[in-house]
């Protein structure tokens, strides 16, 4: 392989590419949002600065594009995207609903919570869906993600870099987490998002709101919640029983098979994200796509 090729932050052979080639990680992204919402300051920062309620699908597309850039973009593309996000966050503040304190949303503590919740959710969802990874590969994934954390303004020395460190971090954070009004509203919104007016006529939107697509999405959202750690499910008023974990595993494995089947039946141009395809081509692996 040509060492001069720009493979961005990760590239062929990385555990990151192995994990994120799995479409099921999109469910992990949803799981991470439920988890992030349990941090009172983090969810307040989103609620007070984001237009996600007015344009949920637009925000989803922008977030997905950023994640794809970090995963598969060239180093220049990744740095440009991260720099834009850092500048945006540097201008934003929010008010702590519990204390009335005004805080910056790019506080290291908040950035760290979002980072860990996101990468742990991607990894956990992929593994529970059936992706086989060794313990060494799991730790390598977390270590690789330090590169993304640093781009967002975090000191890599402060970021959990192994599965054990992530578990310890969650243990330390639990006393600071809990349900707030913003948490509850965000969870309801994630579970029953509105159908945007741009999706067509009123009858079509009603069909999407009440028809099979809505019930299918509810199944996905329910799986994302069931995949949360038991302590997080309890904060949402759910059950921390092992039986919930087993049913979640069955559900996410079924979703992985359905997503694979749907992609296999789709036209070739829709089977892979454009940025991943471009990254494979730069790496000289286009035939492997």
CA distances from 221 to 25, 189, 217, 248, 257 (A): 13, 11, 6, 11, 17
In angstroms, rounded to a whole number, what is the distance separating the alpha carbons of residues 133 and 17?
13
Eight-state DSSP code of residue 73: S
- Rounded to 5 degrees, φ, ψ at 266 are -80, 155
Tell me the pTM.
Answer: 0.90
pLDDT at 1: 42
8 Å CB contact between 108 and 153: yes
In angstroms, rounded to a whole number, what is the distance separating the alpha carbons of residues 234 and 56?
26
Q: Where are the domains of the chain?
A: 15-288
In angstroms, rounded to a whole number, what is the distance separating the alpha carbons of residues 110 and 39?
8
In angstroms, rounded to a whole number, what is the distance separating the alpha carbons of residues 85 and 80?
9
Q: Where do runs of H (alpha helix) occur along 96-241? A: 108-128, 135-144, 146-151, 163-173, 181-191, 202-210, 212-226, 230-235
In angstroms, rounded to a whole number, what is the distance separating the alpha carbons of residues 267 and 281?
19
8 Å CB contact between 164 and 146: no
User: Checking phi first, is residue 21 left (phi over 0); if not, alpha (psi -120 to 50) or beta?
Assistant: alpha
For residue 273 the two structure tokens come to 């994200």
pLDDT at 141: 98
8 Å CB contact between 279 and 72: yes
In angstroms, rounded to a whole number, what is the distance separating the alpha carbons of residues 160 and 55?
33
Of residues 78, 115, 64, 76, the one with CA closest to residue 273 = 64
In angstroms, rounded to a whole number, what is the distance separating the alpha carbons of residues 120 and 31?
10
Per-residue tens of pLDDT for the chain, all 289 residues: 444 578 999 999 999 999 999 999 999 999 999 999 999 999 999 999 977 666 666 777 888 899 999 999 999 999 999 999 999 999 999 999 889 999 999 999 999 999 999 999 999 999 999 999 999 999 999 999 999 999 999 999 999 999 999 999 999 999 999 999 999 999 999 998 776 555 554 444 444 454 566 668 888 999 999 999 999 999 999 877 777 889 999 999 999 999 999 999 988 888 888 999 999 999 888 654 4
């Amino acid at each position: 392989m040509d060492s001069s090729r720009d493979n961005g932050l990760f590239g062929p052979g990385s555990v990151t590419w192995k994990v994120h080639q799995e479409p099921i990680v999109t469910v992990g992204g949803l799981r991470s949002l439920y988890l992030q919402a349990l941090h009172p300051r983090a969810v307040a920062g989103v609620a007070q600065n984001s237009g996600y309620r007015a344009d949920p699908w637009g925000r989803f597309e922008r977030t997905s594009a950023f994640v794809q850039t970090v995963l598969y973009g060239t180093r220049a593309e990744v740095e440009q995207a991260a720099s834009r996000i850092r500048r945006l966050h540097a201008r934003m503040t929010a008010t702590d609903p519990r204390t009335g304190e005004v805080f910056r949303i790019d506080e290291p503590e908040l950035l760290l919570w979002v980072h860990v919740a996101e990468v742990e959710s991607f990894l956990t969802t992929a593994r529970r869906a059936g992706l086989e990874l060794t313990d060494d590969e799991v730790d390598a994934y977390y270590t690789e993600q330090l590169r993304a954390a640093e781009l967002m303004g975090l000191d890599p020395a402060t970021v959990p870099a192994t599965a054990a460190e992530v578990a310890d971090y969650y243990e330390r954070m639990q006393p600071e987490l809990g349900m707030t009004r913003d948490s509850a509203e965000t969870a309801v919104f994630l579970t029953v998002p509105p159908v945007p007016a741009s999706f067509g006529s009123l009858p079509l939107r009603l069909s999407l709101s009440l028809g099979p697509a809505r019930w299918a999405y509810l199944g996905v959202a329910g799986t994302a919640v069931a995949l949360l750690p038991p302590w997080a499910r309890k904060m949402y008023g759910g059950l921390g029983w092992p039986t919930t974990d087993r049913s979640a595993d069955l559900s996410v494995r079924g979703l992985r098979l359905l997503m694979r089947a749907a992609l296999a039946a789709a036209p070739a141009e829709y089977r892979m994200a454009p940025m991943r395809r471009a990254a494979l081509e730069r790496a000289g692996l286009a035939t492997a796509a």
